[in-house]
């Protein structure tokens, strides 16, 4: 499969949102590049993690259940951080978990919170947490969504596609159609990605979801060696210089890249120049404010500032 540009990644949803988590800008790159390698957790940090509070006995296995979380050779559930209570889930996720008994509800909730916490920094570990949640809550839409999105982040495109199809069937929600299309690209099936974009429900997407689908479809056309169709796919109402959205810098960059391929150099330069303009307006990319912390003692006699050893 041809290498994909860094601007056509659909923005991931959160499988389970931590109320304290900050919004992160989506990363670019091909599916394999975006999956990357998970960061290594140090031994001391891992030792401080909380133990899984669920009973160690495994639930009875259904041999007809072919999910990875139901395999005989599955490993133990990953550790849960001490500060996670399960109450960090958003209201809709918590409502869905209300159908579980008390033990399973608490166990599933904690693993969903961990999946949401880790998806951008350790996607493979986030996937393991989502699988752990799936063992006791696999019939719930929010759990299947978590498995699908973490599988996608970890580069397991076939599993992500299967789980997101199940989520779509259970919930009736079509938000993740762009992610499904990108999974098809990751599996080397760009023509199937284009075909999915012609789905009646995909045609109803608006706003960010339509922009994400447009970038995926444009990338699929580029994979197929058709930059003209890629340009047409990107020419949606959201491609506007009058107003910047969270996805606008990536959409502008994708369009500029396709125009460059078509030899429309002056137009390409114009759109590329607006990437920085949009980033500045949104405070993202090169204009994102860094998080700064002062570790020195407060010499004015006020509250002492944190030491490095207290933060790490």
Q: Is 68 helix (H, G, I), strand (E, B) or coil?
A: helix
- Condensed to tens digits (0 to 9), the pLDDT of residues 209-263 reads 999 999 999 999 999 999 999 999 999 999 999 888 999 999 999 999 999 999 9
Using alpha carbons, list the distances in angstroms from residue 205 to 145, 267, 292. 18, 27, 39
The confidence score (pLDDT) of residue 292 equals 55
Query: Cα(161)–Cα(13) distance, rounded to whole angstroms?
Result: 15
Residue 171 is inside which H or E element, if any? helix 157-171
The confidence score (pLDDT) of residue 234 equals 98
Low-confidence ranges of the chain (pLDDT < 70): 1-75, 289-312
Is the Cα dihedral 225, 226, 231, 232 positive or negative?
negative
The confidence score (pLDDT) of residue 56 equals 46
> 119, 126 in Cβ contact below 8 A?
yes
Query: Cα(31)–Cα(98) distance, rounded to whole angstroms?
Result: 35
Query: pTM above the 0.85 mark?
Result: no
The confidence score (pLDDT) of residue 244 equals 87
């Amino acid at each position: 499969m041809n290498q994909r540009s860094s601007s056509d990644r659909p923005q991931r949803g959160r499988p389970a949102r931590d109320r304290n988590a900050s919004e992160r800008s989506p990363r670019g790159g091909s599916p394999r590049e975006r999956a990357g390698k998970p960061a290594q957790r140090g031994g001391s940090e891992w030792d401080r993690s909380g133990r899984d509070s669920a009973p160690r006995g495994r639930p009875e296995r259904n041999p007809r259940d072919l999910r990875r979380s139901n395999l005989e050779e599955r490993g133990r559930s990953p550790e849960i951080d001490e500060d996670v209570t399960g109450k960090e889930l958003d209201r809709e996720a918590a409502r869905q978990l209300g159908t579980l008994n008390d033990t399973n509800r608490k166990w599933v909730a904690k693993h969903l919170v961990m999946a949401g916490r880790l998806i951008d920094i350790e996607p493979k570990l986030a996937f393991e947490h989502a699988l752990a949640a799936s063992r006791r809550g696999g019939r719930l839409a929010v759990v299947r969504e978590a498995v699908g999105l973490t599988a996608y982040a970890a580069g397991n495109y076939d599993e992500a596609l299967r789980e997101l199809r199940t989520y779509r069937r259970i919930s009736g929600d079509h938000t993740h159609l762009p992610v499904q299309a990108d999974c098809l690209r990751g599996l080397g099936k760009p023509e199937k990605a284009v075909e999915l974009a012609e789905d009646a429900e995909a045609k109803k997407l608006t706003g960010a979801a339509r922009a994400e689908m447009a970038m995926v479809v444009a990338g699929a056309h580029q994979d197929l060696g058709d930059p003209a169709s890629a340009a047409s796919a990107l020419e949606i109402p959201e491609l506007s210089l009058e107003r910047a959205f969270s996805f606008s810098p990536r959409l502008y960059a994708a369009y500029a890249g396709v125009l460059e391929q078509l030899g429309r150099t002056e137009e390409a330069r114009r759109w590329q120049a607006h990437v920085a303009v949009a980033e500045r307006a949104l405070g993202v990319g090169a204009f994102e404010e860094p998080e700064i912390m002062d570790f020195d003692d407060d010499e004015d006699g006020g509250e002492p500032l944190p030491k490095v050893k207290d933060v790490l």
